[in-house]
Structure 1
Amino acid sequence: MQLVWFRQDLRRHDHSALWQATQSGPTVAFIALSPEQWTRHDDAPIKIHRYLAQLELLRQQLAELNIPLIIQHIPDWSDIATELLTLCTQLNVHTVHAHIEHGVNELQRDHQVQQLLEQQQISVELYHDRTLFPVGSIRNQSGHPYQVFGAFKKNCYEKLTISVPSCYPAIEAQTALAPHQLWQNEFDLRPFYPAGLLAAQIELWPIGEDHAQQCLDEFIEQHLRRYADDRDYPALNGTSRIGLYLNLGILSIRQCLQALFREQGGYFQIDHRGQQTWLDELLWREFYQHILFDYPQVSQRQPFQTKTLKIKWRHAPQDLAAWQQGQTGIPIVDAGMRQLRATGWMHNRVRMICAMFLSKNLLIDWRLGEQWFMQHLVDGDLAANNGGWQWCASTGTDAVPYFRIFNPINQSQKFDPNGDYLRQWLPELADLDAKQIHQPFAKNPQQELNYPQPIVDLKQSRLAAIETFRAL
């Protein structure tokens, strides 16, 4: 018997472990629900809800292939190894198939499983599936991991020129297995759904492989050519918005790349700027996944650049709360933070603006912002979220130079010139004109608005941040 261990890879198409298992013999599937671990990892309630909904779908889709899915509640990951051994013994499993995950806790968990099962002559096969290239395979001439994205990207381009990773063939239904008590009684997922979510928020994020593929296809066909021009404007529908589907593994990164080069017959060929810009964004995701594996401290709340441990961050709980609630008096920041709370998502350009405002203008520890994002993002991904925050805070790889600090007002005027995005999320400013809405109190500080005055002076706080970093 073969066993596929599902984790953040809830799909049946182009699934390395599932395909390999089904080619080797009769297959069953397994998943461990660990709500306590979700809390430790700051997973957002909306993300957990969508994960469970996708799991319901996956169970049905696997049943169509005559592959039973065994779901167990295992609160702590430290118990998974023994529980999995018991399951494998009951089912006479010869091989466990799973995908490599790159965080420290995940690697430790899988090492424990591998060690225990292989002592009992049960093989554990782990496959590289979350990235285009196996972690550990992209190295510089000295054999070391890349720390700069540009050089990493160049290496990836060279590999893609040789071969674009292809998708696995469709899986055929296997002969139905004999009934077994382990899958006769269907596991009830309802108690695990987070409470308190609004239906309107849930409806923003449909799940399912078909829907995810449709979103990808629509982006490629309708928006890709203008992606380089539109992606930074939060009022436009200019981005792919497939982060949720990549993060939960509803889509594979190979499917994205095949869609990107579909018109080129699956061969690496850049025909326009939008295509290259989106490829570069996929490779930024790739880069941060590799960083997460090669530098485990970044998944342990440590900065990539150790010298930045000396930074004296401000303890300013009131300013932090104002940032979290979208009440800073800086419209573009407040609009982004309110969008996040209302929808579970924030436009990428606005994510950078909000992150840099917290870590530079407010000089509040970036880790508090990273945690807040993870607790609210439907597409919260440890590697990408950490990489983005450390870039903005000038503590990570390819970090923005500490003296380059976004002016949120300038960013707002440039990327939301008419104030359309601001009006959507800040209704109290909806009547202001396109010039005033970016700085409501600039010309008339005494103006009466149902909106807060800025909690910080942007020029003075910029100088303070520069001095703090320069002292390192």
Structure 2
Amino acid sequence: MTALVWFRRDLRLADNPALAAACAEHGHILPVYVHEPDEEGAWAPGAASRWWLHHSLAALSAALKQQGGGLHIRTGGTLDNLVTACRAAGATAVYWNRCYEPALIERDKHIKAALREQGIEAKSFNAALWVEPWQVATQQDGPYRVFTPFWRSVRPRLEPQEPIPMPAMRFAKAKHGVTLKSLELLPRIHWDKGLRETWTPGEQGALEALELFADDALNGYARLRDLPARHGTSRLSPHLHFGEISPRQIHHILHRQTQGLAAKRRPDLEPFLRELGWREFAHHLLFHFPQTPTDNFNPGFANFRWAKPDEALLERWRHGRTGIPLVDAGMRELWHTGWMHNRVRMVVASFLTKNLRQHWHEGAKWFWDTLVDADLANNTLGWQWVAGCGADAAPYFRVFNPVSQAQKFDPQGGYLRRWLPELKDAPLPLLHEPWKDGSLLSRSGYPAPMVDLAQSRRDALGAYQAMRGRD
């Protein structure tokens, strides 16, 4: 018997429950990827995500070829393509790992029912999360809205389980597929040089990134993760989003590696596991509150007085020309590498939503298009958290000061000098506040601040008080 293994955002061979089950229960498998971004609704992959997807699919195809098979790629309506591929290969079943975005949940429910109606077995699995969003609930049997009690419920369930090994595979033959190149995922204008220099998409790249993190940054993670000039974070987020590695693999490998060390040299995994817990929380929220990619989690913010959208202002923010060094450095890092340090993400988001008072939708859309780790659950949680309108959100009156944040977390200016070459020779006090020397701005060509930080903060707090007065 033959089964289709429908790959989606689980682009790996090890610890892949759908692949393992299909190989265990069927004599032959046909690995299939169906490209139909329109089925993702308003959240089809952005440009940076498409770049990553191309290279991740290429890596998966190469890995399958090493095992004697290949990846069968099709385009168009997913259900029709799965049925056609089943008929052509003589397959009696389709196996896949679940996605959790609202549009895909509804699509997958329809596909599962339609396949079964046609006599094709359909089985789905969890390959992306420690716990399914419906497996944890409050004492009132409702979804969690605050991270700490959510994590308190989830953490005791997590054991460093042995990942599922890559199974032995025997492949069915397929016809009428398309080439990866024909999907046109790569940019026609070659803006991706920085991405190519920064990342290695694919399962092997994910394992190498985890190894680098374990060797270099895990020890001291809690202390160093907020310093953007250092390699102090895992940078596993795009690998996790595309399923090139699983949370179970990460937990198992790091636990095994740290257990071999003497107690006094053993890094504490808890701060890092807690950060992965925020990813779980984001998916929990998106599942239970599917309207939040567009609607405020806190409905009171429907009355908030955002500033009128200003395209010229937004362009300066997008391309790192605000005149505020930490904001500009972060936005230029994003444009060049498709990624931004998490501490800096909070600062640039706070500047947009509070100092500029532009709607968080504008930031979420830009991140969606430019981040290689663009993930609907994480993107929604992050922007609503900073804007003050989300679940477990930072209070709106918490406005990140980009000057004091840079002074605290980039005190020597290594991050700013890397991404702001026009200020690379500025002395330290002025590097954080270059507007204090007009001649420095003239010589360097660095722009003056587009807003006064103190006044714009007062304006934001005034808008917040006005909103509360209208409640």
Q: Same fold (TM over 0.5)?
A: yes
Number of the residue aligned with 2:186: 193
8 Å CA contact retained: 1:43, 1:376 = no
Q: Which runs of 5+ in 2 are unaligned?
A: none
Distance in 1, Cα, partners of 2:453 & 2:86? 60
Residue from 342, 348, 352 that aligns with 2:342? 348
Give the share of equivalent positions with the same residue, in percent: 35
The verdict on how the C-alpha distance between 1:186 and 1:406 changes in structure 2, with shifts beyond 3 A counting, is: closer
Residue deviations 1:73-98 (CA, integer Å, cap 9, x gap): 11xxxx32233223223333222111
Number of the residue aligned with 2:127: 129
Alpha-carbon offset, residue 379 of structure 1: 1.3
Residue from 74, 89, 92 that aligns with 1:91? 89
Correspondence 1:466 to 2:461: yes
Determine helix, strand or coil for the equivalent of 1:435. Answer: helix
The verdict on how the C-alpha distance between 1:265 and 1:447 changes in structure 2, with shifts beyond 3 A counting, is: closer
8 Å CA contact retained: 2:329, 2:415 = yes
Number of the residue aligned with 1:208: 202
User: Once structures 1 and 2 are overlaid, which stretch shifts more, 436-445 or 110-119?
Assistant: 436-445
The letter of the residue matching 1:465 is A
Distance in 2, Cα, partners of 1:447 & 1:52? 41
The letter of the residue matching 1:156 is V
Give matches, 1:168-317, under 5 Å: 168-174=164-170, 176-177=171-172, 179-182=173-176, 188-189=181-182, 191-197=184-190, 198-263=192-257, 274-299=268-293, 301-315=294-308, 316-317=310-311
Alpha-carbon offset, residue 192 of structure 1: 3.8
The letter of the residue matching 1:131 is L
Alpha-carbon offset, residue 303 of structure 1: 1.6
Number of the residue aligned with 1:143: 141
Residue deviations 1:413-458 (CA, integer Å, cap 9, x gap): 1111111111111111122111111111236599624111111111
Number of the residue aligned with 1:413: 407
Give matches, 1:100-139, under 5 Å: 100-139=98-137
The verdict on how the C-alpha distance between 1:141 and 1:271 changes in structure 2, with shifts beyond 3 A counting, is: farther
8 Å CA contact retained: 2:75, 2:81 = no
So what's the TM-score if we normalise by structure 2?
Answer: 0.92
Determine helix, strand or coil for the equivalent of 1:441. Answer: helix
Aligned CA RMSD, in angstroms, stands at 2.3
The letter of the residue matching 1:461 is S
Correspondence 1:7 to 2:3: no
Distance in 1, Cα, partners of 2:245 & 2:285? 22
The letter of the residue matching 2:31 is A
So what's the TM-score if we normalise by structure 1?
Answer: 0.91
Correspondence 1:375 to 2:369: yes
Correspondence 1:363 to 2:347: no
Determine helix, strand or coil for the equivalent of 1:3. Answer: strand
Number of the residue aligned with 2:30: 28
Number of the residue aligned with 2:386: 392
Alpha-carbon offset, residue 361 of structure 1: 0.8
Distance in 2, Cα, partners of 1:381 & 1:434? 36
The verdict on how the C-alpha distance between 1:159 and 1:380 changes in structure 2, with shifts beyond 3 A counting, is: same
8 Å CA contact retained: 1:130, 1:252 = yes
Residue deviations 1:261-313 (CA, integer Å, cap 9, x gap): 114669xx9996742111111101111011111111123x1121122122221
Distance in 1, Cα, partners of 2:349 & 2:133? 27
Distance in 2, Cα, partners of 1:466 & 1:425? 31
Residue from 38, 52, 55 that aligns with 1:53? 55
Determine helix, strand or coil for the equivalent of 1:181. Answer: coil
8 Å CA contact retained: 1:46, 1:202 = no
8 Å CA contact retained: 2:338, 2:370 = yes
Distance in 1, Cα, partners of 2:144 & 2:74? 39
Number of the residue aligned with 1:18: 19
The verdict on how the C-alpha distance between 1:38 and 1:118 changes in structure 2, with shifts beyond 3 A counting, is: closer
Q: Which runs of 5+ in 1 are unaligned?
A: none
Determine helix, strand or coil for the equivalent of 1:298. Answer: coil
The letter of the residue matching 1:403 is F
Alpha-carbon offset, residue 383 of structure 1: 1.0
User: Once structures 1 and 2 are overlaid, which stretch shifts more, 215-224 or 88-97?
Assistant: 88-97
The letter of the residue matching 1:455 is M
Determine helix, strand or coil for the equivalent of 2:94. Answer: strand
Distance in 2, Cα, partners of 1:434 & 1:274? 34
Determine helix, strand or coil for the equivalent of 1:451. Answer: coil
The verdict on how the C-alpha distance between 1:182 and 1:157 changes in structure 2, with shifts beyond 3 A counting, is: same
Distance in 1, Cα, partners of 2:64 & 2:316? 46
8 Å CA contact retained: 2:40, 2:103 = no
8 Å CA contact retained: 1:14, 1:168 = yes
Distance in 2, Cα, partners of 1:447 & 1:203? 31
8 Å CA contact retained: 1:27, 1:67 = no
Number of the residue aligned with 2:422: 428
Alpha-carbon offset, residue 124 of structure 1: 1.6
The verdict on how the C-alpha distance between 1:171 and 1:318 changes in structure 2, with shifts beyond 3 A counting, is: same
The letter of the residue matching 2:301 is T
User: Once structures 1 and 2 are overlaid, which stretch shifts more, 451-460 or 145-154?
Assistant: 451-460
Determine helix, strand or coil for the equivalent of 1:358. Answer: helix
8 Å CA contact retained: 1:14, 1:170 = yes
Distance in 2, Cα, partners of 1:203 & 1:37? 32
Alpha-carbon offset, residue 208 of structure 1: 2.9
Residue deviations 1:91-146 (CA, integer Å, cap 9, x gap): 33222111111111111211221121111122221111111112210111111111
The letter of the residue matching 1:31 is Y
The verdict on how the C-alpha distance between 1:210 and 1:187 changes in structure 2, with shifts beyond 3 A counting, is: closer
Residue deviations 1:133-179 (CA, integer Å, cap 9, x gap): 1221011111111110000111112212xx334311231132x54x4
Distance in 2, Cα, partners of 1:173 & 1:84? 20
Alpha-carbon offset, residue 65 of structure 1: 3.3
Distance in 2, Cα, partners of 1:105 & 1:238? 35
User: Once structures 1 and 2 are overlaid, which stretch shifts more, 357-366 or 103-112?
Assistant: 103-112
The verdict on how the C-alpha distance between 1:84 and 1:173 changes in structure 2, with shifts beyond 3 A counting, is: closer
8 Å CA contact retained: 1:32, 1:72 = yes
Count of aligned pairs: 460
The letter of the residue matching 2:305 is K
